[in-house]
A = this chain, B = another copy of it.
Amino acid sequence: MTKVLAIDVGGTKLSYAIINEKGEFLSEVKKTSTSKNIEELVQTFKNIIAENENEIDMTAFATAGAVNIENTKVDSSTPNLPKGYNDIDLSTLSAKPVFVENDANAAAWAEYKVGSAIGEDNNITITLGTGVGGGFIVNGKLLRGKSGRGGEVGSMKINGHGRVCTCNRKDCWESYASGTGLKYTAEEVAQTDPIFSTSIFKNKQPKEVTTYDIVAGLKENDEYSIKVFNIWKQDLITGLINITNIFDPETIVISGGMGEFIDTKEVENAVNSEIVVSPIKIKLAKAGNHAGMIGAALLACEKF
């Protein structure tokens, strides 16, 4: 049996556990915070590895940020990770082999190997959270591109409305189909559509309506909330149609916090009614909150 120390490095939380080559957990998942100071963060990595190194065969990082093509370090990362993180060669932190993969790619691999797309050599995992992330399996292999940065489907421009994304570009799918996108749509509808005056949120300023308000409004049958959610859903569907026509996948797995609010069968039917390739399945993710760790561990087992 192979034992992998899997470490998930998120913008705020850091989790780790020992996982075997079947993706099974051999230890409890331990958690700490991700330090904003790079020396502290590296020391945390060293401590975790030292604590486990005798027992394990290798270490696997699932991390936020773009990972280099050699799977040894992060090449570029989001501002919520400490400055200098991109300069750390993670592969030098252990005497045993170290593997590094982007967390969205690792999560997609977990869905392929032990989750909702087992045995499907062409499948996609889309994460709908604060942003929109994607992991693509093509011919049974992870799509990483020339530099390891492939899969940036959240930056796909799907619309000519001119909405400015958090990345400062315009009309990214992420700015429509993410949780943040739902808030933007809520604000736009509140500003332009009289339906807002009948809403349970009418006493708020358009800018103040939150993603959580809309989700709560759906349960109250608030018409404004339903309208906002339907626009959001259509923008989600547009992007799913695009990637379906390009990838012709068996399944698109939906993960992330926004996944629980969609009716996968309804979205599946809407996508299948407009694509030019053969029908797909849409399923919720099954590999769980720790999909990134599982996927990174399994990929490390394949590599070493």
Residues in A lying within 8 Å of B, measured CB to CB? 66, 120-122, 134, 136, 138-139, 141, 143-153, 155-161, 167, 169, 238, 241-243, 245-250, 274-278
Asked whether, in the complex, the Cβ of B150 is within 8 Å of the Cβ of A246, the reply is yes
Q: Do the beta carbons of A139 and B136 come within 8 Å of each other? A: no
The 6 closest A-B pairs by CB, nearest first: A145-B248, A150-B248, A152-B245, A160-B160, A149-B277, A147-B278
Q: Report A155 CB to chain B, min CB distance, Å.
A: 4
Q: How far is the CA of A150 from the CA of B248 in the complex (A)?
A: 5
Residue pair B274, A169 in contact (C-beta under 8 Å): yes
With A167-B276, A276-B155 as contacts: A248 and B144 at CB distance below 8 Å: yes
- Chain B residues contacting A145 (CB-CB under 8 Å) are 122, 247-249, 277
State whether B248 touches A136 (Cβ < 8 A).
Answer: no
Which residue of B is nearest A157, CB measured?
B238
What is the bound-complex CA distance between A158 and B242, given in angstroms?
9
Nearest chain B CB to A251 CB, angstrom units: 9
User: Which of B134, B161, B248 makes the CB contact (< 8 A) with A149?
Assistant: B248
For A148, list chain B residues within 8 Å (CB): 248
In the complex, chain B residues whose CB is within 8 Å of the CB of A146: 120-122, 248-250, 278
Residues of B within 8 A of A276 (CB): 149, 152, 155, 167
Q: Taking CB as reference atom, which chain B residue is nearest A163?
A: B160
Residues of chain B within 8 A of A122, CB atoms compared: 145-146, 150
